Amino acid sequence: MASNISTVNTETVLRTENLNIYYGNFLAVRDIWLDIPKNRVTAFIGPSGCGKSTLLRCYNRLNDLIESFRAEGKVYYYDKNLYAPDIDPVEVRRRIGMVFQKPNPFPKSIYDNIVFGAKINGYKGNMDELVEKSLRQAALWDEVKDKLRQSGLSLSGGQQQRLCIARAIAVQPEIILMDEPCSALDPISTLRIEELIHELKEQYTIVIVTHNMQQAARVSDMTAFFNVQRSEQGGRSGYLVEYDATESIFNNPKQEDTRDYVSGRFG
Ligand SMILES: Nc1ncnc2c1ncn2[C@@H]1O[C@H](COP(=O)(O)OP(=O)(O)OP(=O)(O)O)[C@@H](O)[C@H]1O
Ligand SMILES: [Mg+2]
């Protein structure tokens, strides 16, 4: 397991209380109560359609861009309700960054990919230093330092994903959300990203969605298992089955559904 540090007594950075998420009338995710600890890696696992991405997008208000989206209940970042009227979603997304399944560098140079967000945020520091620091943190510097003016799209898939992580880091977020960040990558690139995640948690809080059980077991401190169930309204709603230290979820789960899922007996 990634860490044997007790998760007890660590500060909570994100908290959902009685969170229900709808797309139109469809209740996609129901009644989520979940605390994400600071400077830890939390993995979301569960079958397709159980709402992992939906919940993840709630944490940085990325769902706002979906017209039919509606949330009931609370999402707290420390003591701030992220859905309160005075909250600026752009600022939320600066503090809570996102890395997607498919690497999506901008069709710009490697250098400009990194400085893009910093410029928008009015960053006053030295841009060259920011580029180097971010690329170093993303374990990409040595591979690209001689071609910073080349397009980000000229990199390999694994390098592009590290570029996206560097881009996320460059705006100095506190939390990085990752939605299946390795599913388009080969095993070597995947291991590099996993090592990177391990290093990044010294400074950042990470929430990662993954379908790879070994990956969840390797990189995360906490694991949340979600499942889908027919709801009273007739649709299939996602819900949280069990949330615990990763070690307990994989070795000693309390729920039978969790045991079946992590052992691959799910059907
Ligand atoms: N933009 C949307 N509009 C309407 N329904 C949506 C939208 N996005 C997701 N859903 C529905 O919400 C439910 C949860 O979807 P979500 O993508 O969050 O699941 P997931 O756990 O991330 O699945 P996967 O493992 O396949 O990525 C699904 O029933 C899905 O069809
Ligand atoms: Mg998803």
pLDDT digits (tens, 9 = 90+) for 159-186: 999 999 999 999 999 999 999 999 988 8
Query: What are the C-alpha distances in Å from 107 to residues 85, 100, 111?
Result: 34, 16, 11
In short, whether 23's Cβ falls inside 6 Å of ligand 1 is: yes
Closest-CA residue, ligand 1 atom 1, reads 66
Rounded to a whole number of angstroms, the distance between the first and last alpha carbons of the chain is: 26
CA of 207 to the centre of ligand 1 (A): 17
For residue range 124-136, what is the model confidence (pLDDT) as tens digits? 999 999 999 999 9
What's the confidence (pLDDT) of residue 3? 46
For residue range 226-242, what is the model confidence (pLDDT) as tens digits? 999 986 767 799 999 99
Q: Which residues contact 163 (CB under 8 A, 6 or more apart)?
A: 103, 105, 110, 113, 114, 135, 138, 140, 144, 152, 155
208 sits in which H/E element: strand 205-209
Number of the ligand closest to the Cα of 237: 1
For residue range 185-208, what is the model confidence (pLDDT) as tens digits? 889 989 999 999 999 999 999 999
Across all residues in the chain, what is the average pLDDT? 93
Round to whole Å and give the CA distance between 43 and 258.
14
- Partners of 240 in the β-ladder: 226
What's the confidence (pLDDT) of residue 184? 87
CA of 67 to the centre of ligand 1 (A): 14
Q: Which residues contact 160 (CB under 8 A, 6 or more apart)?
A: 103, 104, 105, 152, 153
Round to whole Å and give the CA distance between 132 and 35.
34
In short, whether 50's Cβ falls inside 6 Å of ligand 1 is: yes
CA of 99 to the centre of ligand 2 (A): 12
Query: For residue 267, is pLDDT > 80?
Result: no
SS3 40: coil
CA of 264 to the centre of ligand 1 (A): 22
For residue range 69-125, what is the model confidence (pLDDT) as tens digits? 999 999 999 999 999 999 999 999 999 999 999 999 999 999 999 999 999 888 999
In short, whether 49's Cβ falls inside 6 Å of ligand 1 is: yes
Closest-CA residue, ligand 1 atom 28, reads 49
Query: For residue 10, is pLDDT > 90?
Result: no
Q: Kindly indicate the confidence band of residue 5, based on its pLDDT and cuts at 50, 70 and 90.
A: very low
In short, whether 68's Cβ falls inside 6 Å of ligand 1 is: yes
Q: Kindly indicate the confidence band of residue 9, based on its pLDDT and cuts at 50, 70 and 90.
A: low
Atom index in ligand 1 nearest the CA of residue 209 equals: 22
